[in-house]
Amino acid sequence: MTRTVIDENEEETSPWWRIGLTVLILALLVAAWSIFEYGRYRAGYDRVTFRDIRLQLEQSNTAQEVDLRKLRKEKLDLEQTMRIENQAYSQVRKDLMELQEELLELKEELAFYRGIVSPEDADRGLQIQRFTVTKNQEDRSWQYKLVLTRVLKNRGTARGTAEIQVEGVTAESGSKKLLSLGEISVPRVKHLRYGFKYFQNLEGEIKLPAGFAPSRVILVLKPGGKGNKTQLKKTFDWPEGQKQT
């Protein structure tokens, strides 16, 4: 039969061994933490300094955000100012162009009236002062304007007819063709009648056939009534910007 012998001295010393082991472990942990803190200190780490630096960075970041918002607002204000200035500049440029066009029209009218009252042209009779064509929105349609004049010293009323012919080239054959007013006027008229003392504007609409490229306009004035029966003929080139058919 086996007997178990218990050593009373062993039971008494066992708890102290455990306490010593625990103390040793705690001492090692404290030593490890101290070494870690010492290492951070030797590396330049300072908790107070780090806290101050972090506070400074946060304050700097807040200040930069304030500056950024301010700059964004200034940017929006500048963009708004630029838009207003661009609109104002566009309006001024538009007004200037309109004034220039108006000035040009006034100069043309002044030259027109000077041509009527000029003493050096006292012997001049009936004249074709101006002829213009302007493209309409409708396809192959143009508006024409014919201005006839006489000097003031001529008495009585100038009467007669004006014929308009458009010369051009047909796309199909490539040959020249002459179209009379009766073929192209809207509504159809054979010729224009004039009757005036000093000047007269004759206006109307013409519509050219498809495939016809106009090159020039031939105007013929045929005085009526008594007196001078000499016909007046004048040719105008068709404006380059109005040649689309």
Mean pLDDT of the chain: 80
Contact (Cβ atoms closer than 8 angstroms) between residue 99 and residue 133: no
Give the torsion through C-alpha atoms of 126, 130, 131, 135, to 10 deg: -150
Looking at residue 65, what DSSP letter applies? H
What is the band of 180 on the pLDDT scale with cuts at 50, 70, 90? very high
The whole-angstrom separation of Cα 27 and Cα 31 is 6
Q: Is it the case that residue 120 has pLDDT exceeding 80?
A: no
Give the tens place of pLDDT for each residue, 39-60. 666 655 556 676 777 788 888 8
Give the tens place of pLDDT for each residue, 69-99. 888 898 888 888 888 988 888 898 888 898 8
One CATH from 3.40.50.1220, 2.40.50.140, 3.40.50.300, 2.60.40.10 for 121-242: 2.60.40.10
The whole-angstrom separation of Cα 207 and Cα 200 is 23
Strand partners for 206: 142, 185
Domain spans in the chain, listed from the N-terminal domain onward: 48-117, 121-242
The whole-angstrom separation of Cα 231 and Cα 125 is 11
Taking each continuous run of H as one helix and of E as one strand, the counts in the chain are 3, 9
